[in-house]
Chains A and B, each alone.
Chain A
Amino acid sequence: MKDKDLLEAWNRYVATGDMAAFGQVYKALYDDTLYFAISKCNGIQLEATDIVAEIWEKLMVKKSHIEGNVRSYIFAVIKNTIIDILRKNNRIVSNEIPENTLSESMKSAFLEEDEKKEHDLKIRRCLDEKEYILITQFGYLMQDGHDRQEANKLLAEASGKALQTINNKRSSIMKKLKKCIKQ
């Protein structure tokens, strides 16, 4: 769901109480909010699932008008809620949650500009021509701002194949690539 559609759905919920509109926002953003909270709660012994549940309930009841980006708004609410909980428990004195630094395993996923070519060659060696073209095109579409579903749909249209076929093809390429890169 695009950011503007999320904002439209949210404001429809605020204006009319349309629960289907609330459901659309919830469905689109729950996972993102949980992952965000999991990271913020990491190492401070708070249960991310409970905090996220409490925040969605608060959002549903309060029906606050949002300007700008719905996801960013909810992320800010999560961050502030965690700060409030920690402050109540005398666990922080400032307005900040202790910051996590990039974990070592994430750092290992980082490439330097000059490693890009080698990285692409590695992927190229693992796949046949058609498979390589498909994932490269998928990459371009994602960089252009399309989400996964749109990218797969555009690839299906361009190749004249069914969307499900493209989805399956991409899944099998990723499995093959994962296996090959591990070796």
Chain B
Amino acid sequence: MTNTDNNSYSNFYDSKLIVEFLQGLLPGDLHLKIQRQIKASEVFRTYVEGVQINFEKSGKNFEKMEADVAAKKAQTWSKLQRKMESQPTLSEKITYTLEQLKDFFLPNPQLELELQPTRAADTSQVQISINDTNKILRLILGEKNTQVVDFEIFDNKIKSIQQHKIPAGAEDFALPTASMHPGIYYAEFRPEEAEDYIISFYIQKNLKPS
């Protein structure tokens, strides 16, 4: 299958931008450019209509629309995770040397320092539960989660592994860990209206060299 659509304006695939367009909130030049793109591309027009239909369905409440889409996204992701579990994982295919395992479980001094305020003040609002058998990481947010929370997982070399957005109101959030090797990891949480904080966790802690 080949791409026949003009996607030179791929940055216009942005629901917030489209809602602002539909409400006439964008400066004239940008408004006209989006309008021209709608007229020129059937695919883009279909996308814009989808945003419009959903926006109207959510009572023209953008935050509600975004939260609904985020919930569906998380739900589909969970289904995909279950499907993934039936496939052989990286850790099942690979055996690690003792040196590699020592390296994977070595705490990162910089991130460990950033952990200190979290530990000292116990400000963390999220709990992390790891199921190494099912290769699932579950974030337990509780009923108090009233805001959107961005979070990112880093390995001990501060390499970004996964990034997600937890919708407001979500009580828990599940992620696949099948592609993550054993070791220590750090999850950074960035709530919209509160201080950022970091929590560390292990994947396959049973493999941690003593």
Residues of A near any B CB (own CB < 8 A): 2-3, 17-20, 23, 26-27, 30-32, 34-40, 42, 48-49, 52-53, 56-57, 60-61, 67-69, 71-73, 75-77, 100, 102-103, 105-106, 109-111, 113, 116-117, 119-120, 123, 135-136, 138-140, 142-143, 145-148, 174, 177-178, 181
From A76, which residue of chain B is reached at the shortest CB distance?
Answer: B1
Task: Kindly identify which residue among A32, A35, A116 contacts B28, using a CB–CB cutoff of 8 Å.
Answer: A116
A61 to B87, CA, bound (A): 10
From B177, which residue of chain A is reached at the shortest CB distance?
Answer: A19
Contact between A109 and B16, CB atoms less than 8 A apart: no
Closest-CB distance, B196 to chain A (whole angstroms): 11
From A182, which residue of chain B is reached at the shortest CB distance?
Answer: B23
- CB-CB under 8 A from A123, the residues of chain B are 25, 27-28
Contact between A181 and B1, CB atoms less than 8 A apart: no
A76 to B45, CA, bound (A): 14
10 extra interchain contacts, Cβ-Cβ under 8 A, other than A68-B2, A73-B1? A18-B179, A20-B179, A26-B77, A32-B13, A39-B46, A40-B50, A53-B79, A76-B1, A123-B27, A147-B11
Residues of B near any A CB (own CB < 8 A): 1-5, 7-17, 20-33, 35, 38, 43, 45-54, 56, 69, 72-73, 75-77, 79-80, 83-84, 87, 161-164, 176, 178-179
Closest-CB distance, A55 to chain B (whole angstroms): 10
Closest-CB distance, A175 to chain B (whole angstroms): 10
Q: Is the interface of B mostly helix, strand, loop or mixed?
A: helix
Closest-CB distance, A34 to chain B (whole angstroms): 6
- CB-CB under 8 A from A142, the residues of chain B are 11-12, 17, 30
Contact between B15 and A31, CB atoms less than 8 A apart: yes
- CB-CB under 8 A from A19, the residues of chain B are 84, 176, 178-179
Contact between B26 and A52, CB atoms less than 8 A apart: no
Closest-CB distance, A21 to chain B (whole angstroms): 9
* Given known A38-B50, A57-B83, contact A109–B24 (CB-CB < 8 A): yes
Contact between A56 and B27, CB atoms less than 8 A apart: no
* Given known A72-B3, A105-B52, A117-B28, contact A36–B23 (CB-CB < 8 A): no
- CB-CB under 8 A from B22, the residues of chain A are 105-106, 109
Task: Kindly identify which residue among B16, B43, B72 contacts A72, using a CB–CB cutoff of 8 Å.
Answer: B43
Contact between A111 and B32, CB atoms less than 8 A apart: yes
Task: Kindly identify which residue among B11, B31, B72, B162 contacts A145, using a CB–CB cutoff of 8 Å.
Answer: B11
A60 to B82, CA, bound (A): 12
